Chain A
Amino acid sequence: MAGEHQNGTLVLEVKDLDVRIEGGGGSFLVVRDMAFAVARGETLAIVGESGCGKSMTALTLLRLHPPAATVERGFVCVDGQDVLALPRAALEDIRGEGIGMIFQEPLTALNPVMTIGDQIAEALRRHRDIGRRAAARRAIELLDLVRMPDPDHRARLYPHQLSGGMRQRAMIAIALSCEPAVLVADEPTTALDVTIQAQILGLIRDLQQRLGTALVLITHDLGVVAEMADTVIVMYAGRRVEVAHVNDLFDRPLHPYTRALMTAAPHLEAADGAKSMLMEIKGAVPPPWDMPQGCPFAPRCGLTLDRCRVEEPPLVKKRDGHLAACWEVPDAA
């Protein structure tokens, strides 16, 4: 299913993805009509507030979504294989080898009773035909690759003996151990100190370029998006509200939600040198069991037209390579 993209071979394609969650006295679509494609070496950022469905989307890519969630419709293709249709054994083959994942909280995502060296070697031995010793050596090399200081020694340590940044380095080493074509990083720096965040992001970008990995980066941080992404999807209430190249998005954000996100992000100085006010977006993402009629952002939007409260705007092309779902923004000619 791999096709040609503007800058290379597509290794990840998602189409028409709907994810439904059962529970809490009903069933709700938490991801609607999701679609994207990522080529080798390319970075796609999915950005949005908590509860907008971005983590659920990420988990679905490896079919790791919780049992309460079901994929109602759609298609996820990793390196030419339809993840959602694969039998279990083939799915397990592609996890780690075709697509790797980095999680948000490295302390809980690592097994507390196994050394990190063993946890890396385990992934290697699962997908590569190598012996115990060779895997242990390779694990140390990988720790060195993720710039873990003193990798020989650190490989023998347990997660609780490492700092948060080192744990995330170990997590990255696990995810990249078998050089997957696609790397999914779900808020990889959210749990880390600000000073460490930049290091970890730099490391992910370096390795991505070196290995030619396609990266799907889930984040709520527009600073991270600006730093890392080629293409950006802004999600709101389970659906894409804006899709654009990173430069277009920051130069000319179209959707009122994206614009609100940008004013809500802290800046040291505004463009004219004056200190800018930190704005917040009033209200919260509507929960899936209480979706308003029409545009889900309408209750928090400053530009609401009458139509917004009645009819949900479709995601359409507003400018070249720039999609948005908003009645207020004029469509491309």
Chain B
Amino acid sequence: MLTYTIRRLALFVPMAAGMVIVTFSLLLLVPGDPAAVLLGQEASPEDIARLRMALGLDDPWFARLGRYFAALLQGDMGRSIFQNQPVAGVIGERLGATVELALAALMVAIVLGFVLGIAAAMWQASWVDTACMLLAQLGVSMPVYWLGILLMLAFAVQLGWLPSIGRGEPLLAAAGMALAGNPGPLLKSLSHLVLPALALGVNSAAIISRLVRTSMIEVLGEDFVRTAYAKGLRRPRVIVRHALRNALLPVISVIGLRFGALLGGAVLTESIFGWPGLGQLTIAAISQRDIPLIQGIVLTYAMMFAVVNLLVDLSYALIDPRVRLG
């Protein structure tokens, strides 16, 4: 397992470098001159040229790429053109909120997805199966913004149980306070988190549940499940220890991919629920052509995705000895 982890980590370095290059070059290809945008429509060509010079936009691409790399290694993602602050700081302020939302949504997706999927597989072709898969169909078909608005209407407006917009204290900080004897902020943070996490997670839950069902049905027909029954094991143990563990393998890689979809979906969810995360920042940065900020955000998303995939690969190896032992 250790060698596998090291091997997989070593692979991460060239991958990260590749992501930096791709992020950088994508923006070379995008039309629009940031200097012109920055100075507005009234600016003279001379002013634009001067600003291009000052921002280093006239240097050849490899010089700019080299500078970008060198700065990144020192944790410097450049300065946001419009906010006139370091990009790393701007992103840092928002990153926590988005990660919190995406992880909460992932939890919703995993818990709901597994419960529905396993139930459907265990009672295959019964009314339980039909009900679970009907729910899944509904979940897949429902767009995030529509479900988000429905949830908000029901639980925030009609019932008044949960707040409709905004975010409480960061969850980790609130948990710390709760440990110190002050549970108020934690409850508030959680109440703010429930609706956006549900809205964002339901879609993935539906996809995961269908996959878990298929995978479980396949594994339940395997010879080793019959062996487990032949040993006299009780049904719950056969389901969890023997069937589920083997059924997990195809599901885990999809969970990793869903995390990417959750980050994307978070852009919409954040707008609906006024969640101060990266999604809103992304929309602002793109509409302002704030190139250093866009680069920083894209790179941050890419890195998060890469880290999740790394975790997926590692958990794969943890579950399946054939992966780690070759």
A: residues with CB less than 8 A from B are 62, 64, 88-89, 92-97, 100-101, 103, 105, 108-115, 122-123, 126-127, 158, 160-161, 171, 174-175
Contact = CB atoms under 8 A, between A and B. Distances in A.
B148 to A, nearest CB: 39
Interface in B242-285: 242, 245-246
15 contacts: A92-B234, A94-B232, A95-B231, A96-B231, A96-B232, A105-B223, A109-B223, A109-B226, A112-B224, A112-B321, A126-B233, A126-B234, A158-B325, A171-B227, A174-B227
Contacts of B245: 113
Contacts of A122: 231, 233, 241
A62 B246 CA distance: 24
B226 A64 contact: yes
A108 B229 CA distance: 14
B7 interface: no
A123 B230 CA distance: 9
Contact of B230 (A93, A95, A111): A95
A129 to B, nearest CB: 14
Contacts, number: 80
B322 A158 contact: yes
A109 B322 contact: no
Interface of B: 222-224, 226-235, 241-242, 245-246, 319-322, 325
A92 B230 CA distance: 8
A127 B322 CA distance: 30
A103 B226 contact: yes
A108 B233 contact: no
A161 B325 contact: yes
A54 B226 CA distance: 17
Nearest to B125: A67
A7 to B, nearest CB: 27
A115 B325 CA distance: 13
Nearest to B234: A92
A100 B233 CA distance: 12
Contacts of A89: 234
Given A108-B224, A111-B246, A113-B245, A100 B230 contact: yes
B322 A160 contact: yes
B228 A111 contact: yes
Contacts of A160: 321-322, 325
